[in-house]
Every structure is written in C-alpha cells, then in structure tokens.
Structure 1
Amino acid sequence: MTYQETTNWMFNQLPMYQIQGASAYKKDLTNIHLLAEHLDNPHKNIKCIHVAGTNGKGSTSHMLASILQESGYKVGLYTSPHLKDFRERIKINAPEASGEISEDFVCEFIQKNKIFFEENDMSFFEMSVGLAFEYFKKEKVDIAIIEVGLGGRLDATNIITPLISVITNIGIDHTQFLGNTLEAIAGEKAGIIKPNIPVVIGEYTPETKPVFLAKAKENHSEIYFASELISETQPSDLLGDYQLHNKKTVIQTIAILNSQKEFKISEIAVKNGLLHVVKNTGLQGRWQQLGNFPKIICDTAHNKHGLEIVMNQILKETFDTLHIVLGVVNDKDLDEILPLFPKKAKYYFCKPNIPRGLEATILEQKAHEHGLNGEVFISVSEAYNEVLRMAAKTDFLYIGGSTFVVAEIL
C-alpha cells in the first residue's frame, strides 16, 4: 500500500478515538502488552519521560524535546492528535537532523504487522504507540518524550517505566471515560505514577493534591509540585497565557533529570529550548498568530480549563470587533463551555470535517441560548473565508473550539 492507502486503512478499518469517539476507547492494557511482546518489547530499550494531563501535555512535551535537543541529545517525541499528517505524532528532534517519521517506515511497519493487527483487533492508537516505540528503538534515541493519549492508567502508553512521570493539570474532560469529578480524573491521570519514579505535578487543586500525594506515597515516589517550587520562568516562543504553568512544569522536570546525572542540561540549553520550541519541534495551534491586520489567532483549547484561560487572554487584547470562528465535536458539554465565550462577539458557527463533528445548526441553537449570536456555515473554510471578508484591520479574529477546526485552518 502507498502511504495514503496505509493511513486510510489505519483511520478507517480500526477503532480511532479521533474519529469515532467513545467506541474506540479500550478499557484495559491487554492489547498493548500483546503488541509490545509481538514487537519484542521495544519500549524496554528506550529511556522516557511520560507526560499526562488534561491540558498542556502537548506543549510541555514539545518544550522538553526542544530543550533536550538544544542539549545535544537525539530525542524521540510521541504526541497526539495530529493536525494535518499522521507523521506529526512521531518525530525525532536532534542537533544533526530532525523530522517526522518517514512514510516508508510507517508503510513497512503496518504491512509487516497487518495480519497481527487484524487478528487481535488492535486500535488505531495501540498501533501508533507500537510504531513509535519500534521507531525510537531503531533510531537509537537518547531519550523519548511520550505523551499520554487519554487519561493515564489505561492509556496504551502506560506500559513504559519512565525516568520521570509528569502530570500537567486536571480539568473536567472526557468524563465518559475518566469520571465526572476532579478527584476521579486525577486518579486516572495518577495511574502513570510508577514505583520509585519521581513525579512532577504542574498544577493542582484542593481536590486533586491529596490524590497525587496518596498515589506517590503508595509507590514510594518523590513528588514535586512545580507551581510551589519554581518561582521564575523564561521567555518562550509559545505565547499563550497558559504556557506559564507549562514552563514551570518543564523547568522542574529538567531539574530532576539533571539531578539523576544521566543527562546534562545547561541553563543556556533551557533558555534556547524554550525560545525555539516551534522551530525545533514544529508545534502548531497554541495561541498561534496567523495574521496582523486584523490580528488572527488560532488555538486548540477545547475544554473548560483551557478555554477559560484563552478567553481571558482574548479580552486583554485591543480591538474594535471580535470575530469567533467556532466548531466543536458532538460529545462536548456545551452547557459547560459556551458560558465561557464573550457575548459581545460575532460568531461564525461551523462543523469540523470529521464524523464526530457537531452540526453547525445545533451549535448555533445552543449558543443562542447562551447569548452568543452569529451565522451558520457549511464548512470551517467557508466560515474562515467569510470572517476574512468581513473583518476590519482593527478587529480581532479567533478560530477554535476544537483541534479539528484549527487543523482545517492550518
């Protein structure tokens, strides 16, 4: 199969949360252990940092990879979801040569193991994790940053024994899988804490801190609360207000890695790594500016915890009229997120082009109930083209509500 045929097969033939939602969620780690054994356990040959959290885990993972690259190391980076091309999920960051996994490697891996995948009903995410581990082993990376896909305890990445576990924060999201309280969700995320492995907590609440402390104690793991331990951060090319907490999390994680003596990361590497995250890793969609007059920002924030920060940042801007291109997926709790959006804005409602996309007419009706008014468009691109036509140079344009909306714009 060609690369396009291979990725089409991966997306369409097997369960994929990105497309299907709840039906793709696996409730145990049986399959990934089976796959790892089939591949001769490549994850056991890789030094890793494991990153979980409701928001910020992608930014945190990319910052860590950028800093380690600036330190001269060959770094594997596994993240999800992708915005445009599947290969964004699996990258090498290195001083001599950085880039996404090759199309040939993806095709060969799928072709070689296709029968096994079909016989054992492997999910899209399980295959992707196995592919990443196999690739990082073959490439002999010095260290890999592994981002959790969903939750932690039952996530397919949770077969690794990392050097450090990182949990960025806890917010209400994916309640159908993780529980509908902060304590329950924290319990799932804390499932990545391993015996005698240090854990960094980025942000905590009165509800989540006891959960983390109890899990760390149970595992005899040193626990570090970055928000208490790190008072100063450094500039970064990632400009969203929410990056302040992520930077503290990253700086604390690097401090622990340095203390383990296996890696040596200088202050200048931290400084340069934070300043060149986008250049080094290709990260997109985090308070990303697409234009100046009018100012155009897109952001992948899609739940209450993330959107609160982004909406507050918008209101700090100076503009005449605020235009918002908005689309969401169909399992989003609209009564939770729509009250966060400013009423004094012109809305362009659209449906992301995936099966899970919520019909724009339904979104518009629900938004109207919350005092948000605008027009319905048949696609993200049509909504974006209309806002570009309508906006004055002194206006502000925001595109978001879903990772998939941002992906279509980019």
Structure 2
Amino acid sequence: ASEVIADIGHNPPALRLNFAQLRAMMASGAYDRLVILYGIMADKALDDILPLFPGLDPADCFEVRYIFTTPSTARALPGEEILARFDRFLRSARNDRCSNGSGMTESDRCPSRSGMTNVSAEAVEPVADAVRAALAAATPRSLVYMGGSTFLVADVLRVANDLE
C-alpha cells in the first residue's frame, strides 16, 4: 500500500522543510510517484509557497500528481483558484527557462506542463472526492502527502474514518 503523510504545515518555512523532506524521500528510490493533495486558506502566502512545490525544479526527477481542493471552512481558497495560480506559476517558470538564449526552440526545451517536469494537476471537489482521487492516483509504491492546512487535514481524517 502507498505511504500516506498528513501534515498541518501551512506557511513557507514549514512547507520548505516538508517539501525538502518529500524530495529526499523521492530521491531515495523507494517511491515511484508523489501524489500531493493540497488545500490552503485564502490569507496564506500561496505565491511564496508555489516555488517550493516538489517537481517544479529541473533537478526533481520524479512524477508528481497535484490534486487541489477546498478545505471546509469559509476562509479556504477554492481549489480551482489554487489550480489557476499553480498553472500561471508554471507558465511563468517555463517562460523563464525558455528565455536563457541557449538556441533551443521553446518546444525543444519547454513542452507541455506534464512533459516538462512529469507534473500534472487538477482541482477536485469536495474534499472527500479529492481524497479518493489522491488515493486512486497512487500506486502501491507511491508517496501521498495531504496538507497545506489544519482544516484540510481535519477533513482528510474525517474522510479516512468514513473509508474504514
């Protein structure tokens, strides 16, 4: 079965540490895919967190599946908004890499999002369906991380109890 981590880290310093640990775990070769279920509050620094996400650095040589969702609180940022901002960040990062003057064409260096870094992303609602989608995306050798908010982890734990 997949290894599942639920963590309430929700600010850039905590997530920098969490995501570094996930990268190290993926680099160990013990896992074939990283699945991240992520939800965040609207008042958190998402633009500072996005660059920390695993799979976006060219050195990250592993597959990552992102599933964004909306924790069950009025303060939550909608999963669709997280996805839109994630996609904008990826396009910007790809454009930055494509403007290095190496002589390669953009299509040589910058294929589709999933081809560039083995990253895919979607928004799934409600949280219960997002948890099911994360578990369905995992292989027996996947590492699954569910976090970004205490509210999300509380939702995940409620869903996990219902799944048992």
Give TM-score, length-normalised by structure 2: 0.68
1:272-292 Cα offsets, whole Å, 9 max, x none, are: xxxxxxxxxxxxxxxxxxxxx
Deviation (angstroms), 1:298: 0.7
Q: CA deviation at 1:381?
A: 1.4
* Counterparts of 1:373 and 1:395, CA distance in 2: 15
2:124 is aligned to 377
Task: Please state whether the residue corresponding to 1:396 is helix, strand or coil.
Answer: strand
1:390 Cα deviation after fit: 2.3
Map of 1:307 onto structure 2: 15
Give 1:316's aligned amino acid.
A
Residues 1:353 and 2:72 aligned together? yes
User: Where does residue 100 of structure 2 map in the other structure?
Assistant: none
Distance in 2 of aligned mates of 1:370 and 1:320: 25
1: distance between equivalents of 2:89 and 2:156? 26
Uncovered stretches (5+) of structure 2, i.e. residues with no partner: 56-62, 91-118, 158-164
AA paired with 1:328? I
Residue type of the alignment partner of 2:13: H
Which residue number corresponds to residue 45 of structure 2? 333
Alignment partners' CA distance in 2, 1:373 and 1:394: 18
Matches within 5 A, 1:96-135: none
Q: 2:145 aligns to what SS in structure 1?
A: strand
| Bigger radius of gyration | 1
Write the distance in 1 (CA, Å) between the matches of 2:11 and 2:147. Answer: 11
TM-score by length of 1: 0.28
Structure 2 CA distance for aligned equivalents of residues 405 and 327 of structure 1: 6
What aligned pairs does 1:10-409 form with structure 2 within 5 A after superposition? 293-317=1-25, 318-343=30-55, 344-371=63-90, 373-409=120-156
Alignment partners' CA distance in 2, 1:408 and 1:299: 12
Number of positions where the alignment pairs a residue of Structure 1 with one of Structure 2: 118
The structure whose RCO (Cα within 8 Å, separation 6+) is larger is 2
Counterpart code for 1:381: A
Q: CA RMSD in A?
A: 1.2
Distance 2:22 2:71 in 1: 22
Equivalent AA in structure 2 for residue 391 of structure 1:
A
Say whether the 8 Å CA contact 1:367–1:373 is kept in structure 2: no
Separation in 2, partners of 1:391, 1:351: 20
Shift of 1:377: 0.9
- Is the partner of 2:17 in helix, strand or coil? helix
Displacement of 1:369 in angstroms is 2.1
Answer yes or no: is the 8 Å Cα contact 2:38–2:147 preserved in 1.
yes
Query: Do 2:12 and 2:45's aligned partners in 1 also have CA atoms closer than 8 Å?
Result: no
- The residue aligned with 2:115 is none
For residue 297 of structure 1, give the secondary structure of its aligned residue in structure 2.
strand
1: CA distance between counterparts of 2:19 and 2:45?
A: 17
Deviation at 1:332, TM superposition (A): 1.3
Question: Structure 1 vs Structure 2: percent identity of aligned residues?
Answer: 33
Q: Which moved more, 1:367-376 or 1:340-349?
A: 367-376
